Amino acid sequence: MAPAPKLPIVYVRGYAGNTAGIDKVVTDPFYGFNEGSTHIRIGADDAPSFYQFESPLLRLHLDEGYQIIVDGGQELYLATHPRIPPDSIWIHRFYDASATTWGAHPHEFRLETAAEDLLRLIETIKEKSGAPQVHLVAHSMGGLVCRCLIQKILPDLGRDPAEVVGKFFTYGTPHGGIAFDVGHGVLERLRDLTGVNGADIFGPRRMYEYLTPKTLTDPDGPPVSWDPRAMPPEQPLAFPRNRVFCLIGTDPTDYEVAYGLSAATVGPRSDGLVQIDNAYVPGAHQSYVHRSHSGRYGLVNSEEGYQNLRRFLFGDLRVEAALVGAHLPPRGDTAWQAEVRLSVRGLQIVTHERTSAQWCPIQLQNADGGLGGGADGETCLPLVDTFLHSGLRAENSDTLRYALHLRILSLQRHDGLLSFNDHLEQTADFDDILIVDVGAGPAAGPDFVAGPDPAAGPEPSTAPTRSTAPALSATWNSTITGPISDYRPDGRSALGDENPAPDLWVNHIRLPATAAPILGDDARIRLTVTPWD
């Protein structure tokens, strides 16, 4: 099948604060999407190793062929050119009208107005590019502007947001608002009451106003059960959550260094401004990376953020890994946690990372004291949900290689408090790495079935075309002799397809025997692969 044509990308930046902050923002031609970084926290002797990340703007240009069109200003270019290329990047400059540096009378920023202006920009881009949709990429508050468009503006117009927006990616967006770890809610109430610098947009009442369609709005304000993070699938004209990706930052310290007391008030389980639990839409794709909200080690100007963005927008396979069939030992005095890291061969960063040291391990027990259940009644704990880009395979390799690092840790409790009498800090009860190689196919089992080939002509056949399912192999690092880089998969590690359904590939990989005393004899890693458009 021919690759799908690329859609225009519209970037929507985050909150700028007061007038001085807005005036500073508007001096940047690309509202920060062009900011890169020249440090990464790896290297010998505890010294940072120099690493240059050019910026997501430039990397999309270099890696994916996107055009950066300005010529005196993007708004001017759109006004004076009847046609624009679809593979282009556009900046929603919604703060320009609120700046004092243009010599005009500035308008007070209003989030709903920014969302309405975003729709006008999208319509112009669609009309002049011929593209059916655009991708939205947003940082921080910019994600709330996009959600206002998706959840309120378009439904109020009776329009399906899925016909306007292709995919929606957020960096550190406060989907659940901004809360503080100190003050017992006093700071939030003071912010929402005074609306200082428009910061009440991060409180529940204002969020309810700009995220709820008129027909569903309660005049008394948000119901007690209302969750600002939710993009309810049952609402009319709801945007599919599987087309939303939330990048979650877990490093509060670098943001504190750059911006003062933010991390001290928000708390350590955050990116310095947005708490981890508020940084995602339930049901959407998620990735955790050890980056701060912004600054020198921020989310947008990071390789971690870019690699997740690129694979979500342009990847061709979606892979889910889950721990299934596990049963924890019946010890009421023990709490169990899982740590997960996902590494990709050829990258100097980890694309997904949930660890205790970064305040975001996976808690293995649910409210009933056991692991959650899957659709088939078997215990199921999601570990990783990621995207593969077959075009990124190294020239000297016939496979894409991914490493899923899984650690299981236990914490002893006594009378409701943690007990450290027999504790070994940061020492895992189980620790191994699943090495997964993804080839070009074919795998055992049926091929993937895809829709009609758009390259077949103006009257394509209604019969589905067949695309080759990927060939996968997997093995645990504990069984590999020598360096992982020297390992080459053989027939013994090949994985067959256990599910005959089209567009679906499934295989269960048993955990090493060393995990059995902790997770039981039936514990497996379930890999699920589906085509990703």
Domain shared by 371 and 454, yes or no: yes
Q: Which of 163-167, 258-262, 299-303, 322-326 has the lowest mean pLDDT?
A: 258-262
12-21, 453-462, 514-523: segment of lowest average pLDDT = 453-462
**Secondary structure letter of residue 42 according to DSSP:** -
- Among residues 274, 289, 314, the one where a domain terminates is 314
Indicate if 279 and 361 belong to the same structural domain: no
Q: Is 413 helix (H, G, I), strand (E, B) or coil?
A: strand
Measured between alpha carbons, how far is 133 from 125 in angstroms, rounded to an integer?
9
As for how many domains the chain has, the answer is 2
Amino acid (1-letter code) at residue 287: S
Predicted confidence (pLDDT) at residue 223 exceeds the cutoff of 90 = yes
Task: Output phi, psi for 11, to 5 deg.
Answer: -100, 135
User: Looking at the structure, do residues 382 and 483 belong to the same domain, yes or no?
Assistant: yes
HEC string for 460-522: CCCCCEEECCCCEEEEEHHHCCCCHHHCCCCHHHEEECCCCCCCCEEEEEECCHHHHHHHCCC
DSSP state of 8: P
The answer for 465, left when phi > 0, alpha when psi is -120 to 50, beta otherwise, is beta
Q: Residue 3 falls within a domain, yes or no?
A: no
Pick the more confident residue, 128 or 5.
128
Across 113-127, 310-324, 362-376, least confident range = 362-376
C-alpha–C-alpha distance, residues 142 and 93, integer Å: 11
Q: What is the arithmetic mean of pLDDT over 461-477?
A: 67
Q: Are strands 524-531 and 505-510 parallel, antiparallel or unpaired?
A: antiparallel
The CA-based angle 481-485-487, given to 5 degrees, is: 45
Q: What is the CATH number of the domain that holds 248?
A: 3.40.50.1820
Instruction: Answer yes or no: is pLDDT of 347 > 60.
Output: yes
- The region, left, alpha or beta by phi > 0 then psi within -120 to 50, assigned to residue 409 is beta
DSSP-assigned states of every residue in 137-181? EEETHHHHHHHHIIIIIHHHTT--GGGTEEEEEEES--TT----S
**Whether residue 176 sits in one domain with residue 30:** yes
63: CB partners within 8 A, 6+ apart: 310
Same domain assignment for residues 95 and 216:
yes
Judge whether 66 and 89 are in contact, CB under 8 Å.
yes
- Among the three residues 258, 292, 314, which one is the final residue of a domain in this structure? 314
Phi, psi of 492 (to 5 degrees): -70, -25
Q: Is residue 211 part of a domain?
A: yes
pLDDT band at 240 (very low <50, low <70, confident <90, very high): very high
Indicate the residue among 314, 333, 367 that finishes a domain.
Answer: 314
The more confident residue out of 20 and 453 is 20
- For residues 297 and 219, membership in a common domain is answered with yes
Pair (94, 154) in one structural domain: yes
Are 220 and 344 in the same domain? no
Rounded CA separation 331/310 (Å): 43
Please name which of 62, 68, 312, 67 lies closest in space to residue 171, comparing C-alpha atoms: 312
Same structural domain, 308 and 340: no
Would 60 be classed as within a structural domain?
Answer: yes
Confidence of residue 51 (pLDDT cuts 50, 70, 90): confident
Contacts of 154-159 with CB under 8 Å at 24 or more apart are 154/119, 154/237, 155/213, 155/235, 155/236, 155/237, 156/213, 156/214, 156/215, 158/237, 159/237
Q: Name the residue range of residue 408's domain.
A: 322-531
More confident residue, 42 or 258: 42
Rg (CA), the chain: 24
- Rounded distance, CA 139 to CA 137, Å? 7
Both 355 and 295 in one domain: the answer is no
- The whole-number pLDDT of residue 105 equals 85
Confidence bin at 191 (pLDDT 50/70/90):
confident
* pLDDT, position 304: 97
